[in-house]
Amino acid sequence: MIPPVVDVQWWQEHRAAVVLADVRWYLDGRCGRDAYDQGHLPGAVFVDVDRRLAGPVSPGAGRHPLPDAKQFAAGMSALGIGAQDIVVAYDDAGGVVAARLVWMLRVTGHKAALLDGGLGAYKGPLERPAPERTPTTFPVTPWPAAHVATIDDAVDASHTVLDARDGERYRGEHEPVDPQAGHIPGARSLPARESVDARGRLLPVPVLRQRFARVGAGDGADVVSYCGSGITACHTLIALEHAGLGSGRLYPGSWSQYSHDAARPVATGADPAGDDGC
């Protein structure tokens, strides 16, 4: 297994052995494919979040539930990604979207890493034509229970539950897409976008470890990560692993599932540690 995060130099040194994946997607409705077609890293294939990395949308499952294992395998096969390939994924948002693909591959036993700094870390010319890759065979692997949390796990006080959304959404001040504003009671706020610097690169490991420790996610913690729909929550899990604090679990339904259940309590207000994006 390769490390969960690599830099541009690592990619360039291993370029011949790597499948580069462009995983741009935007909450505001912009089209990731359009951005890819305007220019992408040399040789990168485009991975559509909604088509390849998520199952059917429903109030009961959320906006980006994990796809069926067969659907995921078929998507990777169609993109020419095989069982033995090393995948390095990037976006233009500090990795908070591309981490979804990296997490999905790593928990099913494949070699994958996040490109630190993403699109902006590469200083060479971008390409516009999409590369031609021959479809291949990718194994069907069930999502491992040890890495996936349920809605009941997300309200279990014995777990350290982390909310990866921006602070204003955690506090309930603004909710752009889901039916209720606020957060899961007991969840701690750790915005994924604040785990990277202004260049979109992950903060130094000692700083990441301090951030996790402040919200009770230090060594040995049983971490459950969620966000709006299970996308940016994967970035928290990749950062957790990068910091040497274990792998944690993803709550795929996240707030988009939880907030549709009127019987579930909703909390608002700041994180008690003040680490909620203020």
- Which is the catalytic residue, given 31, 227, 234, 278? 227
User: What's the confidence (pLDDT) of residue 261?
Assistant: 95
Instruction: Compute CA distances 259 → 53, 100, 118, 191, 266, whole Å.
Output: 22, 21, 31, 19, 8
Q: Which domain holds residue 43?
A: 5-142
Task: Tell me: do 138 and 33 sit in the same domain.
Answer: yes
Tell me the CATH number at 56.
3.40.250.10
Stretch 248-274: mean pLDDT: 94
Task: Tell me: do 34 and 63 sit in the same domain.
Answer: yes
- The answer as to whether 270 is a domain residue is no
Task: Tell me: do 41 and 156 sit in the same domain.
Answer: no
Residues with Cβ < 8 Å from 207, sequence gap 6 or more? none
**Residue 234 annotated in active site:** no
Task: Please say which residue of 114, 142, 170 terminates a domain.
Answer: 142
Number of domains within the chain:
2
Task: Tell me: do 150 and 137 sit in the same domain.
Answer: no
- The answer as to whether 172 is a domain residue is yes
Task: Tell me: do 129 and 168 sit in the same domain.
Answer: no
User: What's the confidence (pLDDT) of residue 219?
Assistant: 87
Stretch 49-66: mean pLDDT: 97
The answer on pLDDT for 273 being more than 90 is no
- Report the Cα 3 to chain-centroid distance in Å: 16
User: Which DSSP state fits 131?
Assistant: P
Task: List, for residues 135-159, the tens digit of each pLDDT value.
Answer: 999 999 999 999 999 999 999 999 9
In the block, tokens 């979109």 appear at 200
Other CB atoms within 10 Å distance of the CB of residue 32 = 20
Task: List, for residues 24-55, the tens digit of each pLDDT value.
Answer: 999 998 999 999 999 999 999 999 999 999 99
The answer on pLDDT for 276 being more than 80 is no
Task: Tell me: do 9 and 120 sit in the same domain.
Answer: yes
Instruction: Compute CA distances 240 → 17, 112, 187, 248, whole Å.
Output: 26, 15, 16, 8
- The answer as to whether 273 is a domain residue is no
Task: Tell me: do 86 and 105 sit in the same domain.
Answer: yes
Stretch 94-113: mean pLDDT: 98
Can you tell me the distance from the alpha carbon of 167 to that of 182, in angstroms, rounded to the nearest whole number? 10
Task: Tell me: do 66 and 82 sit in the same domain.
Answer: yes
Pick the closest to residue 171 from 151, 154, 189 (CA basis).
189
Can you tell me the distance from the alpha carbon of 231 to that of 162, in angstroms, rounded to the nearest whole number? 13
User: What's the confidence (pLDDT) of residue 220?
Assistant: 85
Task: Tell me: do 123 and 155 sit in the same domain.
Answer: no
Task: Tell me: do 40 and 163 sit in the same domain.
Answer: no
User: What's the confidence (pLDDT) of residue 235?
Assistant: 98
User: What's the confidence (pLDDT) of residue 278?
Assistant: 31
pLDDT confidence tier of residue 277, bands split at 50, 70 and 90? very low
Task: List, for residues 209-248, the tens digit of each pLDDT value.
Answer: 999 999 999 888 999 999 999 999 999 999 999 999 999 9
User: What's the confidence (pLDDT) of residue 2?
Assistant: 94
Instruction: Compute CA distances 195 → 23, 88, 118, 187, 225, whole Å.
Output: 19, 19, 14, 18, 14
Task: Tell me: do 106 and 150 sit in the same domain.
Answer: no
Task: Tell me: do 104 and 169 sit in the same domain.
Answer: no
Q: Torsion-angle region of residue 246: left (phi > 0), alpha (psi -120 to 50) or beta? A: left
225 has which bridge partners? 162, 250
